[in-house]
Amino acid sequence: MTLDLLASLLATSVVAAPLAAFAMLGLVRLFGRSTMERWSSRLVAAGFGLGVVGTVATALLLYVDGRDALVVHLGTWFSAGDYAFRVTLLLDRLSLPFMFLATVLCGTIAAFSARYLHREAGHRRFMTLLCLFGAGVLLVTSAGSFDVAYAGWELVGLTSALLVAFFHEREAPLVHGLWTFAVYRVCDVGLLLTAILIHSWAGTAEYGELLLGGAWPGGSTSLGATKATAVCLLLLFAAVGKSAQVPLSGWLPRAMEGPTPSSAIFYGALSVHLGAYVLLRAGPLLDQSPLASSLLVAVGLATALHATLVGRVQTDVKCALAYASMTQVAIIFVEIGLGFRFLALVHLMAHAALRTLQFLRAPSFLHEHHQLESAMGHHLARTGRHFERLLPERSQRWLYRLALERGYHDTLLEVWCVRPVLGVLRWLDRREHALVRWLGGRA
């Protein structure tokens, strides 16, 4: 067996393992059977465990062989005329670390949730969705083309919404799940349009053919500046939605309605970083477009300022962590916009790991905090109040109000976009009823 073939098999198994676990759990459910809680947890953990082994082995093989990247062609999914949807994976210095992170964290969450959600009514549903989510993240990260990345991107979006609404017997998770899905759905158009336009302009959506000249984080592209700018702006739009950046950041605190393990993996670690990941992948395109890079920096700075401000007034630990995540992701955006891609990758991985830990410990955090204060005999010193002290008192009050309302982002979106559009649509619907009544005459 050649090294290439072995590496290809290993890399494929990383994506295929969680998909296989999902298929097994899903089929059992589809045929009306029920799996034991213990077995479903073990199956999911095994799927991601296999993924960890596959990722490490692939990285080692590439290292031993002295190669920067491996392109795995899994074949053509479908083709018509000149167009072919080729399934290609790209394993390199960018994708392998993120795949390692994704498989380790998903496996950890599976193991954690086995106890955390023990005897919870939706335990198996959670495990099934975790597999699908993991497969989606791995597809996005190992994708060798924008086409494949889009498929994974959609899987992540759907599972996010379903897990936000995990506790579906209450009203609030359902409302917030739908809001999250709506933002995702709108922003996904950016990535879909990117894949189609790039295919049309360059004749391919594969990174290997599109982004030339050297291993990541280097490389260049043959696309002209105008086209590169258009593509980067679309990618930025997609990334802003997925990574909860200003002005579409309002869904992130709403998404905290889901169970803590899913909050950790989605909004602390993986999902929220996918926007940054795609931008890292499109680095050579960003190099061609100063406009898009500047906009990326501006969005990052605005979000960092917004999130750090709003995060200070949050009264529950998960929302505070969500805004802390948003701040760090925003800084990663700035780093990418400024061209510090390697730094951004290191930052991303470190942040994802730390934040997962914080989220998973969040339920016991308050308890431990009280224990610590009891042991010390006094309250712990408060930190994080330096920034606002520099401002005049009047501004402090104004900013406090602004922060309490989370920058009015969702309110403005609702008042300026959602309500007018729905108002017009409802008016049209009434006209439809009236037309039928008029055409039909008397009842």
Partner 1 sequence: MSVPWLTLAVLLPGLAGVLLLRSSLAARARVVAVVVCSAVLFAAVAAARAQGTDPWLPLLAVDALSALLLPFVALLCAMLVLAAPRAWASPGALGRLLINESILMAAFAVSDLRWLGVLWIASYGPVVHALYTDDADRRVARVFLLYSGASSAAFTTGLLLMGPHPLADSASWSFFVWQDLAQPSVAGVALVLTAVLLRKASLPFHSWLPAVFDVRPTGPVLLLIAPMLGAYSLVRVALPMMRSVLGEHVFVLGPLSLLTAAYAAGLGLVQQDLRRLCAWLAVSQSALVLVGLECAQGDGLTGGVVVWLSAGLSLTGLGIAAWLIESRHGRLSLERHHGLYRRSPLLALVFLLCGLSLVGFPGMVGFVGGDLLLRAVLESFPLAGVLLFVTTAANGFSILRAFFRVFYGAPQAGGVVDLVPRERVALLVPLVLVLWQGLHPAPLVNAGAEAARVILLRTR
Interacting residues with partner 1 (CB under 8 A)? 29-32, 76-83, 85, 150-152, 154-155, 158, 161, 165, 168-169, 171, 174, 177-178, 181-182, 185-186, 188-189, 192-193, 196-197, 199-200, 421-422, 425-426, 428-429, 432, 435-437, 439-443
Q: Give the position of tokens 């990117």.
A: 194
Least Å distance, CB 388 to partner 1, is: 39
CA distance 395 to 320: 22
CA distance 351 to 433: 53
Nearer to partner 1, 64 or 443 (CB): 443
Q: Which amino acid is at 258?
A: G
Least Å distance, CB 169 to partner 1, is: 6
> Tokens for 403?
């922060």
Nearer to partner 1, 61 or 149 (CB): 149
Nearer to partner 1, 79 or 396 (CB): 79
3-state helix vs strand vs coil in the chain, percent to 5: 75, 5, 20
Least Å distance, CB 54 to partner 1, is: 21
Nearer to partner 1, 112 or 166 (CB): 166
Half-sphere exposure of 143 (CA within 13 A, CB side): 26
Which phi and psi (to 5°) does residue 80 adopt?
-150, 125
Nearer to partner 1, 31 or 384 (CB): 31
Least Å distance, CB 34 to partner 1, is: 10
Nearer to partner 1, 199 or 351 (CB): 199
CA distance 123 to 43: 13
CA distance 211 to 88: 14
Least Å distance, CB 327 to partner 1, is: 29
71 touches 144 (CB < 8 A): yes
CA distance 239 to 393: 36
CA distance 119 to 100: 30
Least Å distance, CB 181 to partner 1, is: 5
Least Å distance, CB 250 to partner 1, is: 16
Burial class (CB in 10 A: 0-12, 13-18, 19+), 53: middle
Nearer to partner 1, 76 or 364 (CB): 76
Nearer to partner 1, 3 or 434 (CB): 434
246 touches 302 (CB < 8 A): yes
Least Å distance, CB 104 to partner 1, is: 25
> Quick count: other Cβ atoms within 10 Å of Cβ 38?
11
